[in-house]
A and B are shown apart, each in its own frame.
Chain A
Amino acid sequence: MIPVRFRASLGYLRRHPWQLALAVIGIAVGVAVIVAVDLANASARKAFLLSMDAVVGKATHQVLGGPEGIPENVYTRLRTEQGMNAIAPVVAGEARIGTRGLTLIGVDLFAERALRDYTGMLADTGGDAEPLFRAFLTEPGAVVLAAPLAASLKLEPGSAFELTVDGTARSGRLVAVLPDEEQRLGGLVVADIATAQEWLGRTGRLSRIDVRIEPDDEGALARLEAALPPGLRVLGAAGRTQATLDMSAGFMTNLSAMSLLALLVGLFLVMNSTSFSVLQRRPLIGTLRALGVTRRELVSLLLAESAVIGLVAAALGIALGVALGERLLDLVARSINDLYFRVTVTSVAVEPASLLKGLVAGVGAALAGAAIPAWEATGYRPRLALARSVLEERARRALPFVTLAGLVIIGAAVVVLVVSGRNLVAGLAAVFMLISGFSLCAPLFVRVASTALAPLARRLGGTVARMAVAGVGASLSRSGIAVVALAIAVSATIGVSVMVGSFRAAVVDWLDQSLQADLYARAKQGRIDEALVAGVASQDGVAAVSTSRRVVLEEADGRTWLVALAMAPGSYAGIELIDAEPAAVWPAWESRDAVVVSEPYAWHRGVAPGDVVRLPTGRGPREFAVLATYRSYDANASSVLVSRRTFDRWFDDDGIDSIGVYVEDDARPEDVAAALRRRDGATLLEVESNAGLRAAGLDVFDRTFVITDVLYWLALGVAFVGVLSAMLALQLERAREIATLRALGMTPAQVGGMLAAQTGLLGLLSGLAALPLGIVMAWVLIVVINRRAFGWRIEMLVDPGILASSVLLAVVAALLAGVYPAWRAGRASPALAMREE
């Protein structure tokens, strides 16, 4: 049995279903975005941790060498001479089945039991396990995959399939599938260590040795270290996992911030809707008050109602968020794969914490949106409650204080930016402070702007236009929130577009500069060696060649890409030194134990020219002088350049990954490329023009920002719903006025046009208000957030086109949102004007 006063209140909502619906949609979309991003992030992180768990197992430490890995006899000696038992050898590499990027992990089943349990899992595959073991151990190319992965690749035990390992095509056979309910193994191709060595061409070498040291076994670590030959290091496994995860922290934090932005816009929308529904019921509230319902009872009633709406909407939003999360997850995982580490996520892991966050956000937003209007509306004497002008007057009087508060918050944001050093989270907090500060200043802007526009409007469009303009300024208590919501969404699009645009321009620039050679050749099959390089260099039409070798240095605090370059005369121009003179750097770099480091590397490790860095070489850790920092927007951002000569001194690795080919002026690159592709011999070359590589590079870049695009369109969508809701509410509130105008002889088209003009104007003002905020946001994103998250320094480019299109976007969004309310208003019967309140 619902108390009568509740029914009175609910009756209102029943009679204005769209208002209820929009409030619900607003909260639901806001919650959905939060939940979706949170789930996608959490799922990606969890998938990574699970897969690391599957890979690392119970290992507490890992023995690592230089980029060449570890001689396998080190493992044999640890086993046979040191009697170490809880150790397992691993040979790992990159594999690809179809389009699926995976990690090939070669293991020794007999060593696994202490660390991982592939053995047990294999036995669990059912049936007679012995043939599986026999096949796994003795058959070259035998692999096992997680059951869900095998299913998604349409492979069954016994199927033969093609895969690519380190760029070379191989034939595999699936001998068994592993049960994988927790989805820990979804990214792995598990093979015998012999198979992995054969495929990766790493005979005699291990990628690492996993070690389990019991916490109470003091001295075990020291014994292990003492037993290792020089050049090998022991690193904590958890620390390495964390370091890998940390690389992506900036990316994930940025995504979370984007989702918060959507909630912020959603929050405004909710406030808009709930405050409207409260304000609309002022007469009812006045009547109930007059009948003796206490203020407290009324406030509780209104809040309870909002809480119920919030709850329903949050539930909807969570459901929506889970569905949306599935979509986002793909994008998040793709970006992480492009940028950071291999992660295979097949489905969203529904984390209760994420759902709870959504619930709290939804109900909290609904309550926050209702609280102030409820308190205010119930405080009036019934008679006063009818006078709208009183409300507007109050709003007008509060304006200076609101604006002042906004300015103070903006000031505080600046202070936070200045004092927070390299802290990314503080940087993001400052962004949100800037947004709040600007939003508090927006109402004043709208009032001033609409007042200023009024005479102009009158001159151009007469009284009707004037009425349209004045309506915007006069109904600030209603339109203000919509303006702010739209302004925030639009400023976010400006901020993000300018940031992405600037970033992209920088990447294009960098690619153009980096890709100095006309052609780049990689081994499609076989390997590149010195003889092959010499052969290419002597080919007709080839002026010069450069080579590069890229290896991973595993360190306690993450991975470093060591790039060994044999430069052609034209190569030097491809590396832009930021803080040193090329003429002073390159000769020393060629001859000494010296390196040039990437900007992100310098940023993250805090090194500068003149410092030394310690790198794990094949002959133990060595110090290298840092000569300069170079610009790099490479996905594997943390890179160190070393000359091939220096590399050969310290690393036992004669591999070459790619050859840069400089074509003679009078030769055509296409002809040279064709000739290179036709070369005879064991090694087949894949030749790509610099334009092709440039396109591929930009492709990765664009892929990375798809998710950003999606998120800000969502934020804009929420803002759109906000404007729609505000316009509908305004129209409801002004029903009588509109009816009078109709009675006075304005046609439906005139009334509709006037309202449309009003929403268009609202959009224009939102767009204009968004400009400064958008530019400031772009600046903060580029100069503060990107720098802090990734270490990249990017020049900000403000494309006037982006600004213009953002303002246009705001106008169009507002106009679209105004179409239905305007149409409805025009249709409303003028008879309404007769009816008394």
Chain B
Amino acid sequence: MGEFAVELAGVTRRFREGEREHVVLDALDFEVRAGETVALRGRSGSGKSTLLNLIAGIDTPDAGRVIVAGRELTRLSERERTLFRRAHVGFVYQGFNLVPTLSVADNVRLVLELNDVAKAAADARTQELLEAVGLGDRAASYPDVLSGGEQQRVAIARALAHEPAIVLADEPTGNLDDENARRVLGLLERLVRGAGGTMLIATHSASVARYCDRSVELHHGRLGAAAVPDAAP
């Protein structure tokens, strides 16, 4: 892995809305170094989710290059991008997005299984992660009996299960109360940052931003100046 975990060069993304064309990202350059945790700030509709989708290979830019973990996603096919995402990207959503028909353990295991991890290893890894997020005793439960905070912890376990090159979190505390938000941030701090992982967190919460190595702000499709926090909280 090179110096940058994520490298975007001249990335432009436009959406058509009827007759009008709306430029969401405008010749954007952006890098995230390996091991760095970056807060991506901006108002609703400023393009944060679009940026995350481009990095995950879910979306492709109209112009520019997207390089993640040394792979130039913009040169990959849809299928290759999916397989890349499966192996190298972890997702944490504001709405948790657990599979309701799978147990907590199966939600985590699903990702390992997609990556062809052997069953025994997958079981061990799943249990390890659930213990790590403090839900070791809830492996057999179904998402709908968990609280929001618990669900998000499962989502974090799921996002980390396959040891991704980068974790993308989209307002991970947006649906949580302060107490649970703190707890989730604590987990991310410990399990990602503490382990030297790379993470990009889209948020408009200043407290979340403070916790990151640096913040960038999306404004009119461009990255504006952002205050670099002094240190971790």
A467 with B114, Cβ < 8 A, contacts A831-B59, A834-B49, A834-B170 known:
no
Residues of B within 8 A of A829 (CB): 58-59
Q: How many residues of B contact A (CB 8 A)?
A: 34
Please report which residues of chain A, range 349-392, place their CB below 8 angstroms from some CB of chain B when the two chains form the complex: 388-389
Q: Which residues of A are found within 8 Å of B79, using beta-carbon distances? A: 747
Within the complex, what minimum Cβ distance (angstroms) separates B27 from chain A? 21
CB distance from A450 to the nearest CB of B (A): 10
Contact residues of B between 78 and 121, Cβ < 8 Å to A: 78-79, 82-83, 85-87, 89, 91, 93-95, 97, 99-102, 106, 109-111, 113-115
* Least CB separation from A749: chain B residue: B79
Q: Which of B78, B85, B158 has the most CB of A within 10 A?
A: B85
Q: Which residues in window 27-42 of B have CB below 8 A to A?
A: none
Chain A binding surface, main DSSP class: helix
Which of B56, B91, B110 has a CB less than 8 Å from the CB of A467? B110
* Contact B52–A834 (Cβ < 8 Å): yes
Q: Roughly how many angstroms separate A747 CA and B80 CA in the complex, as a whole number?
A: 9
Residue B144 interfacial (CB < 8 Å): yes
Q: Which of A466, A742, A743, A830 contacts B102 (CB 8 A)?
A: A466
The residues of A that contact B78 with a CB separation of less than 8 Å are 748
Contacting B at CB under 8 A, from A43-97, are: none
Let me know if B102 and A467 touch, CB within 8 A. yes
Indicate whether B53 reaches chain A with its CB closer than 8 angstroms.
Answer: yes
User: Which residue in B58, B100, B115, B144 is a CB contact (below 8 Å) of A743?
Assistant: B58
- Is A233 positioned at the interface, with any CB of B under 8 Å from its CB? no
CB distance from A452 to the nearest CB of B (A): 16
Given A467-B110, A737-B99, are A747 and B83 neighbors across the interface (CB < 8 Å)? yes
- In contact, B170 and A743 (Cβ under 8 angstroms): no
Q: Which residues of B contact A736 (CB under 8 A)?
A: 95, 97
A471-B101, A831-B59, A836-B94 known; A389 and B83 CB under 8 Å? no
Closest to A471 in B: B101
Query: In the complex the two chains form, is A464's CB within 8 Å of B56's CB?
Result: no
Give Cα A767 to B18, complex, Å: 47
Contacts of B94 in A (CB 8 A): 836
A834→B111 contact, CB < 8 A? no
Complex contact B91–A744 (CB within 8 A): yes
Residue ID in chain B nearest A833 by CB atoms: B97
A745 to B164, CA, bound (A): 12
CB atoms of B82 and A462 under 8 A apart: no
- Chain A residues with Cβ below 8 Å from B87 are 745
Complex interface: chain B residues within 8 A of A463 (CB): 102, 106, 109-110, 113
Whether B86 lies near A745 (C-beta < 8 A) is yes
**Alpha-carbon distance A834/B49, docked complex (angstroms):** 7
In chain A, residues 814-837, which have Cβ atoms closer than 8 Å to a Cβ of chain B? 829-831, 833-837
CB closest chain-A residue, reference B106: A463
Chain B residue with Cβ nearest A832: B58
A744–B109 CA distance with the chains assembled, in angstroms: 12
A835 to B202, CA, bound (A): 13
B100 touches A744 (CB 8 A): no
Chain A residue nearest to B114 (CB atoms) is A745
A746 within 8 A of partner (CB):
yes
> Within 8 Å CB of B99, what residues of A?
467, 737, 740-741
With A466-B102, A745-B114 known as contacts, the answer to whether A740 contacts B97 (CB < 8 A) is: yes
The residue from B49, B59, B82, B91 contacting A747, defined by CB atoms under 8 A apart: B82
Q: Does A261 contact B (CB under 8 A)?
A: no
Does A332 count as interface, using CB distance less than 8 angstroms?
no
Measured between C-beta atoms, what is the minimum distance from A594 to chain B in Å?
73
A-contacting residues, B122-174, CB 8 Å? 144, 158, 170, 174
Cα distance A745–B110 in the bound complex, in angstroms:
10
Separation of A471 and B99 alpha carbons in the complex (Å): 10
Q: Is the beta-carbon distance between A743 and B91 smaller than 8 angstroms?
A: yes
Residues of A within 8 A of B52 (CB): 834
Residues of A within 8 A of B53 (CB): 830-831, 834
Q: For residue B98, which residue of chain A has the nearest CB?
A: A740
Q: Say how far A339's CB is from chain B's closest CB, in angstroms.
A: 53
1/0 contact string of B42-67 vs chain A (CB within 8 Å): 00000001001100101100000000
- Contact check, A474 vs B100: say whether CB atoms are below 8 A apart: yes
A833 with B93, Cβ < 8 A, contacts A740-B99, A743-B56, A745-B111 known: yes
- The answer to whether the Cβ of A470 comes within 8 Å of any Cβ in the partner chain is yes
Q: Which residues of B contact A466 (CB under 8 A)?
A: 102, 106
Q: Which of B59, B86, B101 contacts A744 (CB 8 A)?
A: B86
**Max count, chain B CB within 10 A of own CB: residue among A745, A747, A833:** A745
Interface string of B170-185 (1 = CB under 8 A from A): 1000100000000000
Kindly list chain B residues whose C-beta atoms are within 8 Å of the C-beta of A747: 79, 82-83
Separation in Å of the A736 CB from the closest CB of chain B?
A: 7
B61 CB → nearest A CB, Å: 13
Q: Which chain A residues (434-490) contact chain B, with CB distance < 8 Å?
A: 462-464, 466-467, 470-471, 474
**A388 surroundings in chain B (CB, below 8 A):** 100
Chain A residue at minimal CB-CB distance from B96: A740
Q: Contacts of B114 on A, CB cut-off 8 Å?
A: 744-746, 750
Considering only CB atoms, which chain A residue lies closest to B87 in the complex? Answer: A745
A833-B93, A834-B93, A837-B95 known; A745-B100 Cβ under 8 A:
no
* Given A737-B100, A745-B82, A464-B110 contact (CB < 8 Å): yes
Shortest Cβ distance from B100 into chain A, in angstroms? 7
Specify which of A737, A744, A830 lies most central, judged by the most chain B CB atoms within 10 Å of its CB: A744
**Smallest Cβ-Cβ distance to B86: which chain A residue:** A745
In angstroms, Cα B113 to Cα A474, docked, is: 22
**A743-B95 contact, Cβ under 8 Å, with A834-B49, A834-B53:** no
Please indicate the chain B residues that have their CB under 8 angstroms from the CB of A467 in the complex: 99, 101-102, 106, 110
Q: Which residues of A contact B97 (CB under 8 A)?
A: 736-737, 740, 743, 833
Chain B residues near A471 (CB-CB < 8 A): 101
Instruction: Select which of A470, A474, A830 is within 8 A of B58 by beta carbon.
Output: A830
Residue of B nearest to A745 (CB): B86
In the bound complex, residues from chain A placing their C-beta under 8 Å from that of B170 are 834
Query: Considering only CB atoms, which chain A residue lies closest to B97 in the complex?
Result: A740
A473 to chain B, nearest CB (A): 8
Closest B-chain residue to A750, C-beta based? B114
A831 with B82, Cβ < 8 A, contacts A463-B109, A745-B87 known: no
Are B144 and A389 touching (Cβ within 8 A)?
yes
Q: Are B100 and A389 in contact (CB under 8 A)?
A: yes
Kindly state the separation between the CA atoms of A487 and B83 in the bound complex, as whole angstroms.
39
- Return chain B residues, CB-CB under 8 Å to A834: 49, 52-53, 93, 170
- B141 → chain A closest CB, angstroms: 13
A462 to B116, CA, bound (A): 11
Q: A467-B99, A833-B97 are in contact. Are A742 and B82 (CB under 8 A)?
A: yes
From A737, which residue of chain B is reached at the shortest CB distance?
B99
Q: How far is the CA of A467 from the CA of B105 in the complex (A)?
A: 13
* Residues A462 and B86 in contact, CB atoms below 8 Å apart: no
Chain B residue contacts of A462, Cβ below 8 A: 113
The chain B residues found within 8 Å of chain A, CB to CB, are 49, 52-53, 56, 58-59, 78-79, 82-83, 85-87, 89, 91, 93-95, 97, 99-102, 106, 109-111, 113-115, 144, 158, 170, 174
14 CB contacts below 8 A, A to B, read A463-B102, A467-B102, A737-B97, A743-B56, A743-B97, A744-B110, A745-B85, A746-B114, A829-B58, A830-B58, A831-B53, A833-B91, A834-B93, A836-B94
The 9 closest A-B pairs by CB, nearest first: A745-B86, A470-B101, A389-B144, A740-B97, A834-B49, A830-B58, A474-B101, A463-B110, A745-B85
